């Protein structure tokens, strides 16, 4: 019977032109298995080689991380010191601002006193009224050391009114000899 099976297989091979699996020698299987084993071995070798390299690439990063962890308490201390310094600077800034405000008030008082003293000691401030046309328009000639506020107070008008009459702003500088309108008919 084995003989018949072999004859049928040989006949099928000659008709189809192919060999059946049973007819492949054992050496072909071994060669095929050897090739697969070599491919797998090469794959494992490459994988472990790159894996070792990637692990060795992490060593500098690990060392840097350890250094950062060691420096962390020192950095936290520096942050605390800087926060305390900023707090002290803020306190100093606030006290300096208060002192500047106090000095500004003192200067304003001295200026007011100086203006008052000047007006008492000097000749009366000239108020020019035009006589050609009888109106209530009056001018003030600015003396050295006078301020817009002082002039407005002297003529009993508001600072805003004085600035409006002369078309100037409250912060604008005035000069000695400058004429300012201090009253106008039909306000």
pLDDT in tens, 159-174: 899 999 999 988 888 9
Please tell me the predicted confidence (pLDDT) of residue 55: 66
C-alpha 21/C-alpha 10 separation (Å) is 12
pLDDT of residue 132 exceeding 50, the answer is: no
8 A C-beta contact, residue 119 and residue 125: yes
H or E element, residue 183:
strand 179-183
Condensed to tens digits (0 to 9), the pLDDT of residues 134-167 reads: 557 899 999 998 999 899 999 999 989 999 999 9
Q: Which residue has the tokens 């006193």?
A: 113
User: In 41-150, where do the E strands start and end?
Assistant: 127-128, 138-141
φ, ψ of residue 74 to 5 degrees: the values are -65, -40
C-alpha 81/C-alpha 102 separation (Å) is 32
Query: Which of 14 and 118 is assigned the larger pLDDT?
Result: 118
What are the helix (H) ranges across 123-187?
148-154, 159-166
Condensed to tens digits (0 to 9), the pLDDT of residues 76-125 reads: 888 899 889 888 888 888 888 888 878 888 888 888 877 777 766 655 55
pLDDT of residue 131 exceeding 50, the answer is: no
44 CB-side CA count, 13 A: 6
Query: Which of 59 and 134 is assigned the larger pLDDT?
Result: 59
Q: 29 by DSSP, 3-state: which?
A: helix
Q: Which residues pair with 51 in a beta bridge?
A: none
Q: Indicate the pTM of the whole model.
A: 0.30
Q: 131 by DSSP, 3-state: which?
A: coil
Domains plus CATH for the chain? Answer: 24-122 (no CATH), 124-183 (3.10.350.10)
Query: Which of 62 and 19 is assigned the larger pLDDT?
Result: 62
Phi-psi region of 83 (alpha: psi -120 to 50; beta: other; left: phi over 0): alpha
Sheet of 127-128, strand order:
127-128, 138-141, 179-183
For the ranges 11-25, 37-51, 52-66, the lowest mean pLDDT is seen at 11-25
SS3 content of the chain, % helix, strand, coil (to 5): 70, 5, 25
8 A C-beta contact, residue 43 and residue 32: no
């Amino acid at each position: 019977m084995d003989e018949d099976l072999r004859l049928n297989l040989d006949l099928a091979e000659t008709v189809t032109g192919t060999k059946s699996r049973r007819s492949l020698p054992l050496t072909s299987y071994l060669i095929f298995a050897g090739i697969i084993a070599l491919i797998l071995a090469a794959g494992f070798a490459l994988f472990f080689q790159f894996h070792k390299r990637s692990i060795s690439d992490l060593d500098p990063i690990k060392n840097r991380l350890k250094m950062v962890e060691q420096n962390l308490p020192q950095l936290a201390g520096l942050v605390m010191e800087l926060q305390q310094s900023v707090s002290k600077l803020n306190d100093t800034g606030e006290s300096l601002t208060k002192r500047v405000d106090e000095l500004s008030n003192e200067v304003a008082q001295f200026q007011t006193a100086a203006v008052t003293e000047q007006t008492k000691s000097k000749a009366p401030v000239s108020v020019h009224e035009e006589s050609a046309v009888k109106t209530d328009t009056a001018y003030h000639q600015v003396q050295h050391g006078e301020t817009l506020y002082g002039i407005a107070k002297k003529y009993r008008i508001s600072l805003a009114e004085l600035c409006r009459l002369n078309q100037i702003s409250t912060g604008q500088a005035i000069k000695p000899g400058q004429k300012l309108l201090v009253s106008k008919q039909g306000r």
